[in-house]
């Protein structure tokens, strides 16, 4: 039992250490959202409720933009859902690793399932698929202990400081860098590359569509393209 506990602790702290570099993008990302939300008219309680309940930066920015544009509620919900569709794919990929956990623990993991936790977690689990499920859970929460507090704190600081942050400290870089750092290492197969290319091309081509609905179209068509490519390549390999 002691050996098992030591293994869990070491795995937890390894996850924590591996999650620390993400602070460099999570902190400015959260600060930028806090600033943008207060400039849009939200008070600190509303901003923090948004970040704590949703804990999904890309979806929060999309929803905030549509709120500023006075978009219909259904459009805001659909766009946020489309932006977060990747979470459904993340969940499906983690089922072989977390499927046997108690429901309450799975609900807690689903709340903390963000891009950083998935990217680092799935890499670890694929490299060591036979490790105990307790270690997999420990690694996941180690990552989140290193990143989640900084998301909440930076959001609060952005909301509290707001316009007092000098324009010279441009935080816009955090959003694209965050997703490039997460996605680039995961483009390991042709279907992955096709999906990324189609999503980028369509998102840019459909930027003119009102209420950012082009994102929904791009996401759906990109996933379809990737699935079709994987199916075709699988058939060809079988033959």
CA dist., res. 183 & res. 34, Å (int): 24
CA dist., res. 140 & res. 135, Å (int): 9
Residue for token digits 């909301």? 159
Q: What is the pLDDT along the chain (239 residues), one digit of tens a residue?
A: 555 677 889 999 999 999 998 888 888 888 888 888 888 888 899 999 999 988 887 788 888 888 888 888 888 888 788 778 778 888 888 999 998 899 999 999 999 999 889 988 998 998 888 899 999 999 999 999 999 999 999 999 988 887 566 555 555 555 565 556 556 656 667 877 888 888 889 888 988 887 767 777 887 888 788 888 888 776 555 55
Q: Give the phi and the psi of residue 217 in degrees, each rounded to 5.
A: -60, -45
At residue 4, the pLDDT reads 63
At residue 175, the pLDDT reads 57
C-alpha 45 chain-centroid distance: 23
At residue 179, the pLDDT reads 59
Count Cβ neighbours within 10 Å for each residue of 91-124 and write b for 16 or more, e otherwise. eeebeebbeebeeeebebbeebbbbbbbbbbeeb
CA dist., res. 156 & res. 220, Å (int): 34
For 16-21, the CB contacts below 8 A with 24+ separation are 16/142, 16/143, 16/145, 16/146, 17/142, 17/146, 18/120, 18/124, 18/142, 18/143, 18/146, 19/116, 19/117, 19/120, 19/142, 19/143, 19/144, 19/145, 19/146, 19/147, 20/146
Q: What is the pTM of this model?
A: 0.75
By the 10 Å C-beta count (0-12 exposed, 13-18 middle, 19+ buried), 134 is classed as: middle
């Amino acid at each position: 039992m002691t050996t098992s506990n030591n293994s869990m602790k070491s795995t937890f702290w390894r996850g924590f250490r591996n999650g620390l570099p993400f602070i460099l993008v999570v902190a400015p990302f959260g600060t930028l959202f806090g600033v943008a939300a207060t400039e849009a008219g939200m008070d600190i309680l509303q901003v923090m409720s948004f970040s704590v309940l949703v804990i999904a930066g890309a979806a929060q920015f999309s929803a905030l933009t549509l709120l500023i544009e006075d978009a219909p509620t259904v459009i805001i919900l659909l766009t946020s859902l489309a932006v977060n569709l990747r979470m459904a794919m993340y969940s499906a990929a983690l089922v072989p690793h977390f499927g046997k956990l108690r429901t309450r623990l799975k609900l807690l993991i689903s709340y903390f399932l963000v891009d950083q936790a998935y990217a680092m977690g799935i890499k670890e689990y694929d490299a060591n698929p036979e490790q105990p499920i307790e270690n997999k859970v420990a690694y996941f929460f180690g990552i989140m202990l290193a990143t989640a507090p900084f998301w909440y704190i930076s959001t609060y600081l952005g909301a509290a400081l707001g316009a007092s942050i000098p324009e010279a400290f441009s935080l816009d870089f955090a959003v694209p860098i965050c997703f490039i750092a997460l996605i680039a290492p995961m483009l390991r197969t042709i279907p992955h590359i096709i999906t990324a290319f189609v999503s980028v091309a369509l998102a840019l081509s459909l930027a003119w569509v009102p209420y950012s609905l082009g994102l929904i179209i791009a996401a759906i068509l990109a996933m379809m393209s990737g699935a079709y490519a994987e199916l075709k390549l699988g058939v060809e390999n079988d033959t």
